[in-house]
Structure 1
Amino acid sequence: MTNGALVLFSGGQDSTTCLAWALDRFESVETVGFDYGQRHIVELECRETIRQCLAREFPQWARRLGDDHTIRIDALNEISNTSLTRDVEIAMGNDGLPNTFVPGRNLIFLTFAAALAYRRGLKHIVCGMCETDYSGYPDCRDDTIKAMQLTLNLGMDRRFVLNTPLMWINKAETWDLARELGGDALVEIVRTETHTCYRGERGNLHDWGYGCGECPACELRAAGYEQWSAASSHEGVSR
């Protein structure tokens, strides 16, 4: 196995920042996206544009950016009854979780990603799970990721490393990480080319990017951008 990386790349803010993080660290980086019939499937359509923008704006990363893969997991849609896989209103469930939670999704993603990394000879798997400001999804927790790394390594007899660079930072800090990695150019790519909105809306470009502005994903992204922007302005004044 090489020290190359495979990035779980949905086309959203978090996974794009993770892709930049990986390109900054590893000599060879491939990407994988998953089509499970999600309502916001437009996110997958953003992926190639984002990859092209990164290669154009950051020549030092272009030579490191390898193949992209898309894996269809139709069965996940068939067995799920959530607002990401059905045309139902986003709401909180009786279990205290939002109905945007797709049970087993990240566990399935990581298993397929590891199988692909096995075939491609890649050691590092990079994913954007975060436990700091999330919706309470149990498969985003650090303990879950650590357990999955152990399980995958035992089950495939490999030494994969699951990297979660966003695990302990909030959305404002994620915007800051993007600027740290690629300056204003990367921030602008994240702002205008990525997609986070659960409803798949890309009609209006807000300060923080495209989206409905009302779903939990938009609210979290917008709040993070506002906090980061305010802090950045304050730093500029202080200097």
Structure 2
Amino acid sequence: MEGTAIVMFSGGQDSATCLAWALENFEHVETIGFDYGQTHRVELEVRQKFLEIAMQKFPKWADRLGKDHLVDLGVLGEISDTALTRDRAIELSDAGLPNTFVPGRNLLFLTVAAAVGYRRNAKHIVGGMCETDYSGYPDCRDDTIKALQVAVGLGMEKRYVFHTPLMWIDKGATWKLAHELGGAELVELIKNETHTCYKGDRSELHEWGYGCGACPACELRASGWAVFANQKQDWSSKPSQAQIT
């Protein structure tokens, strides 16, 4: 696709996969991250390292990658009371949602990314929202993203396209997509250099990456990896075309 895309890159598995997708599909790509007082702020620390290593390993993408924007949204952490912005145990809230849900987070992220896109002449905004195997976050739903795209476009008098390449795939398929985009090298890079764990734990490297292994984010990432690993075994067990007579 022609034009410039801004990728909401948190430093996690999903946004890293979306970044690779955007680099494959757009002429120019910029990244944006948000410091909102998250307790797992180690994700902000891994962002730059991932970008540096990725550009070394994938020179075809290096020419397409532009500026990285880091925006201070500390006010979001100040007004929210969640397990991602306070020292609290992860549990279900009275509303039936996990208290890892930060109200308004994706709404604000997409709006700010679009505002940066206005200045950078970028109409494509890419995010890792997904409602296939998510935790029920209402701001990850496809209807929410489409409605916000319309509202932001009207409010800024500019046509935006909000892309969510992971919306209808599960975590196993997300690992598979990474493999399709950058092969085993990209899968290893995402496994070793991204962060998803809500606890911010990078003390142990599991077969699926770093994390506490017990929080919902780790459980989802690990289960997706197990599905992907089984698929890889199936690929390797099937005879190649050269072996078929």
Asked if TM exceeds 0.5, the reply is: yes
**1:3 Cα offset (Å):** 1.4
Summarize the alignment of residues 1-239 of structure 1 with structure 2, pairs less than 5 Å apart.
3-239=3-239
1:103-139 Cα offsets, whole Å, 9 max, x none, are: 0000000111010000011110000000100000000
Q: CA deviation at 1:48?
A: 0.6
Q: Quote how far apart the aligned CAs of 1:154 are.
A: 0.2
Could you tell me the TM-score, scaled by structure 2's length?
0.96
How far apart are residue 83 of structure 1 and its match?
0.2
Shift of 1:235: 2.0
Aligned to 2:243: none
Unaligned runs of 5+ residues in structure 1 are none
Structure showing greater Rg:
2
Give 1:94 deviation, angstroms: 1.8
Amino acid of the structure 1 residue aligned with 2:78: E
Q: Match for 2:70: what amino acid?
A: T
1:238 Cα offset (Å): 2.1
Residue 24 of structure 1 and its aligned partner are, at CA, apart by 0.4
Give the TM-score, by structure 1 length: 0.98
Q: Secondary structure at the match of 1:182?
A: helix
Which secondary structure state, in structure 1, belongs to the residue aligned with residue 4 of structure 2? strand
Deviations 1:53-82 (A, max 9, x none): 111111110000100010001110111000
Q: Give the root-mean-square deviation of aligned CA atoms.
A: 0.7
Secondary structure of the residue aligned to 1:122 is: coil
Counterpart amino acid of 1:94? D
* Unaligned ranges ≥5, structure 2: 240-245
Task: Give runs of ≥4 in structure 1 deviating > 6 Å.
Answer: none
3-state SS of the aligned residue for 1:15? helix
